[in-house]
Structure 1
Amino acid sequence: MNKITSSSPFTLAVCAEMVFRDLPMLERIQRINELGFQVEIWDWTKHDIEALATSGARFSSMTGYVTGTLADAAGADEMLRTAAESVEVAKRLGIPRLNLHGTGLDGEGLPVQPCQQMTGAMWLKARDTLNRLADLGEQHGVTFVLENLNTEVDHPSVPFARLEDVLALVESVDRPGLRIMLDIYHAQIGEGNLTEWMRRCGPYIGEVQVADVPGRCEPGTGEINYPAIAKALSEMGYRGTVGLEGWASGDDDLALDRFRAAFEL
């Protein structure tokens, strides 16, 4: 099958965990690749890495740790240990960006270590951990990206989840090995005022992820004006990756067509 060309100024990617779910993972990845998209995966320990490495697909990002947390000593050491393992897998697959959260998430997206209030000591430890991760990324030529999440609907009690917190941490570290995974879906639920947040985060964006609100499906199924988001990103000078991390509202191929159309200018 010939790949579909796009007039988008961005590199478009699709999360294989969330579309074509009636297919085995390798077939999903091959299908996404055939349609001309890069591929995002989540926990690499759940995949056949050799099969992925020989699939012919191009990968945009994956989860950059297996276990651990940002803001306590034992959890930080564990995050660094599993991040180092993740880097080796990323290099095998040619994955440039490794995704981070304030703490590990379970199968339902809930925090392994819930946190109701972050202390000053936690902020300092999180910054130290992110500096260590930036060291690791810069040493191996990959970028760690800290993702904003929403705590109202999907990820209650995750520490350092709000975009305001993510930007503060990444800005304070200010290293090329650490950037923001700017998730527009989560930002709409958590903060709103999307265009202004994109501009504030602009110098630190490593990748943009999208899905519509409510429902976390493809652009055009909810309240976010994604053509306006695409225009604003382009006018900011962003030319990086935009990844669909959302469910298909119905037909998967149609969902991916809608995603592509929303980011063509």
Structure 2
Amino acid sequence: MSTDAATTCPFTLAVSSEMVFLDLPVTERIRRISDLGFEVEIWDWTRHDIDALAALRDEGVVFSSMTGYTSGRLSDPEGADELLAGAEKSVPVAQRLGIPRLNLHGTGLDSDGLPVRPEVAVTGPMWLTARHTLARVAELGERAGVTFVLENLNTAVDHPGVPFATAADCLALVRDVDSPHLRLMLDLYHAQIGEGNLIELCRQALPWVGEIQVADVPGRCEPGTGEISYPAVARALAAMGYTGTVGLEAFASGASEAALARFREAFTP
């Protein structure tokens, strides 16, 4: 990372190793992302060689977030117990890799991002169960010294059938639990598809945000490839006083290194 970029970017920038440099083995992807000056996100830790990732950490790689459960869901007691059990297994992995944020969704997702058990409608009892489940998750995070982050998704394109998917739903749950160990993973790609009004959404959500993720719409590629004015979003976030992590969770429209450069440029207001 250039000195100019490091001194003028007000955010910590991270990149998902699951979506760029796809022609390389995952350890080489992670090393390449880190060498370019970014923190690194992973998804399902059960699909990774944790010893290899720990060795990369020893080399100086900084990991930003990972999936914080293995299965389960928020909306019913059986699924909640399953989710908590997976979260408890995830914590030691996060601690070993120095990962501060563990990501959650409304329900378990398969390899295509589809819910293992779709929910057509969310009832009042499901909301109460989800709130209680997340309070238990926050207590686990407090004991372990990590933060769980609940990510909003879109149901129109990528994740049909996921309950508690919108940013508004996730924010309501996080705000109601009101714990520093449960925050919002605000994904602006998903929010643009489902809700829009991104700058105002950021403003309303900011006190509960643990991280912001980005990709452009349509196509889920890097900033500058679609309809979202990410430089304007970046300027607004800086003006709001946000100095946390912005993660690129996007495919590269061409060369991965060029995509990461465009991401950095968009978020160096």
Among 203, 207, 217, the alignment partner of 1:203 is: 207
Aligned to 1:124: 128
The match for 1:213 among 206, 212, 217 is 217
Distance in 1, matches of 2:159 and 2:75, equals 17
From 224, 243, 249, the counterpart of 1:239: 243
Q: Which residue of 1 aligns with 2:15?
A: 14
Structure 2 residue matching 1:207: 3-state secondary structure: strand
Deviation for aligned residue 1:4: 3.8
| Structure 1 equivalent of residue 192 of structure 2 | 188
Question: Which of 135, 145, 148 is equivalent to 2:149?
Answer: 145
Name the TM-score, length of structure 1 as normaliser. Answer: 0.98
Q: Which residue is equivalent to 1:95?
A: 99
- Contact 1:4–1:35, Cα closer than 8 Å, also in 2: no
Which among 208, 227, 230 is matched to residue 226 of structure 1?
230
Secondary structure class of the residue paired with 2:43: coil
List gaps (5 residues or longer) in structure 2: none
Kindly indicate whether residue 109 of structure 2 is the aligned counterpart of residue 105 of structure 1. yes
Q: Which amino acid aligns with 1:30?
A: R
The alpha carbon displacement at 1:71 in A equals 1.1
Give, in whole Å, the separation in 1 of the partners of 2:104 and 2:93. 15
SS of match in other structure, 2:223: coil
Q: CA deviation at 1:54?
A: 1.1
1:259 aligns with 2:263: yes
**Superposition TM-score, scaled by structure 2 size:** 0.97
Q: Which digits, 9 at most, give the CA deviation of each residue in 1:157-212, with x for residues without a partner?
A: 10000111001101110111100000000000000011111011010000000000
Query: How far did residue 136 of structure 1 move?
Result: 0.4
Question: Which residue of structure 2 lines up, in the alignment, with residue 166 of structure 1?
Answer: 170
Indicate which of 52, 65, 71 corresponds to 2:75.
71
Residues 209-254 of structure 1: CA deviation (Å, up to 9, x unaligned)? 0000000000000000000010111111110000000000001110
- Tell me the percent identity: 67
Superposed CA deviations along residues 130-160 of structure 1, whole A, max 9, x for unmatched, are: 0000000011110000000000000001000
Q: How many residues align?
A: 263
Matches of 1:233 and 1:150, distance apart in 2 = 22
Which whole-Å deviations, capped at 9, do the CAs of 1:75-122 have from their partners, x for residues lacking one? Answer: 100100010110110000000000000101111110011001000000
Alignment root-mean-square deviation, CA: 0.7
Answering whether residue 48 of structure 2 is matched by residue 44 of structure 1, we say: no
